[in-house]
Structure 1
Amino acid sequence: MAKHPIFTMPFSKVYPLYVQKAERKNRTKVEVDQIIFWLTGYDQAGLKQQIELENDFETFFAQAPAIHPNSSLIKGVVCGVRVEEVDDPLMQKIRYLDKLIDELAKGKSMEKILRQ
């Protein structure tokens, strides 16, 4: 079975879109980064390296230090798909990130977004 095109898309191409989406709704790049750090376990240096190396989403998540144990609490619909029902583990992680960025853009508090 062929890989989904998003798996081979460079994370560095999508990251600025996440930031733009947040900033259009008066949120910040710092908040986007905080969400990524929480979900993946990356720190600022690790995220910067992933972007500079132009790693694809598959590599980005494969090299993530630690997917947050509370990520399973992320529920809801993104792009018409319920994130908790996505079968492919990589696609589910990508959808988790999309959902968290959506929640940020919709004005949710960071405490709620980070499932605290």
Structure 2
Amino acid sequence: MDQTKVFKMPFATVYPLYVKKVERKGRTKTEVDEIIFWMTGYNEETLQQQIKDEVDFETFFQQAPQLNKNISLIKGVICGYRVEEIENPLMQKIRYLDKLIDELAKGKSMEKILRK
């Protein structure tokens, strides 16, 4: 898939898929939100506004209040790529988020997911 297509994809389209994925594995929307808050600095109100405004991934990350300084601690493979080796900064952030959601769905503790 062309990377620019992913960048222009509305976050509001992908967010419910994240929630659905983790709920099938017994996790919760609240945990998905906690991951997003930790990674981006959004809170409940600002996250819901981004979803309501149907911003794309590029805008979602550009407008993030504060990216967590520990996101560089996220390591591993997602979609066949090592997240720490992805060269495009925006694609790397998208894949970091994908990786955290995968870890949640696989049953990792929130403490480990949030790199505490």
TM-score (norm 2): 0.97
Amino acid at match of 2:74: I
Task: Mark the runs of 5 or more structure 2 residues left unpaired by the alignment.
Answer: none
How far apart are 1:4 and its partner, in Å?
2.0
Per-residue CA deviation, residues 45-88 of structure 1 (Å, 9 max, x unaligned), is 01000000000000000000011000000000000000000000
Give the RMSD, CA atoms, in angstroms: 0.9
How do 1:1-116 residues align onto structure 2 when only pairs under 5 Å count?
4-116=4-116
Task: Mark the runs of 5 or more structure 1 residues left unpaired by the alignment.
Answer: none
Mapped partners of 1:3, 1:29: distance in 2: 27
Equivalent pairs, count: 115
Runs (4 or more) in structure 1 with deviation over 2 Å come to: none
SS at 1:92 equivalent: helix
SS at 2:39 equivalent: helix
- Residues 83 and 92, structure 2, Cα contact 8 Å, conserved in 1: yes
- Residues 22 and 105, structure 2, Cα contact 8 Å, conserved in 1: yes
Identity of aligned residues (%): 70
Mapped partners of 2:90, 2:71: distance in 1: 13
Amino acid at match of 2:18: Y
